[in-house]
Amino acid sequence: MERKASRRENECEEKTSNSESSELDKDYKISLITLNVGGYLYITQKQTLTKYPDSFLEGIINGRIMCPFDADGHYFIDRDGLLFRHILNFLRNGELLLPEGFRENQLLAQEAEFFQLKVLSEAVKSRWEKEQLASRETTFLEITDSHDRSQGLRIFCNAPEFIAKIKSRIVLVSKSRLDGFPEEFSVSSNIIQFKYFIKSENGTRLVLKEDNTFVCTLETLKFEAIMTALKCGFRLLTSLDCSRGSIVHSDALHFIK
């Protein structure tokens, strides 16, 4: 009798445990929401979509706003499915994080307004305004000798991304030739400063080590900068110092698109 009673107690405990586990699984599944946004499916948690009260998504989930369903029973929202990725990331992270080179600020601002996310809309507009201001300002890159500032080159351009491209190219080549001596040059926001230059019959070289190994002559660097700019659709506005007669002998180059 005791064994039978014990067995029944174990069975009851198992049923209770299974019932609780089933309820938990059910609750967990209910908390997952699938959205069909312009043909793109997104799966996220209920608390993510309801993070901002009075938003469009919060209204859908809590029944304040009527939303159609697709053939599979998912909420269907007729908006830009690709841009919704950034909307969802904002809800998850609480801040605007966009990939490098993102150029759809105006479209994203419209999506933020549709989804009634005022904080996101303001963040996008602020980012857009900063980019517009930066695009109007001329940025520059200075390649210089820490011991003799007269030896070097300045590249001016009204497109920050072009300056960044030239800068990364020089740093990449320099690091590949340094052979484990990164202290031979330093990089800041607008300046690449080499430890020293030397002059030779073939021109000024960017010296990296005592054995006179070099990245390239300054003349070669100027020529590469000009060719890269032309390929990217820029034009050489003027050489800022043409006193030496030739563009490749000038101390500065100015590009504009």
Asked if residue 9 is part of any domain, the answer here is no
- pLDDT band at 112; cut points 50, 70, 90: very high
Asked if residue 74 is part of any domain, the answer here is yes
Mean pLDDT within 84-104: 92
For residues 77 and 88, the answer to whether their CB atoms sit within 8 Å is no
pLDDT in tens, 15-24: 555 555 555 4
| 3-state class (DSSP) for residue 32 | strand
pLDDT value at residue 136: 59
Number of domains in the chain: 2
Closest-CA residue to 88 (of 48, 140, 136): 48
pLDDT value at residue 229: 84
Is residue 191 located within the same domain as residue 242? yes
pLDDT value at residue 218: 67
pLDDT value at residue 189: 72
Asked if residue 25 is part of any domain, the answer here is no
pLDDT in tens, 48-60: 999 999 999 999 9
For residues 43 and 33, the answer to whether their CB atoms sit within 8 Å is yes
Higher pLDDT, 20 or 82: 82
Higher pLDDT, 46 or 129: 46
Is residue 93 located within the same domain as residue 156? no
Helix (H) / strand (E) element for 200: namely strand 196-200
For residues 143 and 152, the answer to whether their CB atoms sit within 8 Å is yes
Mean pLDDT within 110-123: 95
Is residue 125 located within the same domain as residue 151? no
Task: Count other C-beta atoms under 10 Å from residue 131's C-beta.
Answer: 14
Burial class from Cβ neighbours inside 10 Å (0-12, 13-18, 19+) for residue 12 reads exposed
Compute the C-alpha angle 123/110/128, nearest 5°: 40
Task: Count other C-beta atoms under 10 Å from residue 192's C-beta.
Answer: 20
- Is the alpha carbon torsion for 235, 251, 222, 166 positive or negative? negative
Q: DSSP assignment, residue 67?
A: -
pLDDT value at residue 155: 84
Asked if residue 155 is part of any domain, the answer here is yes
CA distance 131 to 125: 10
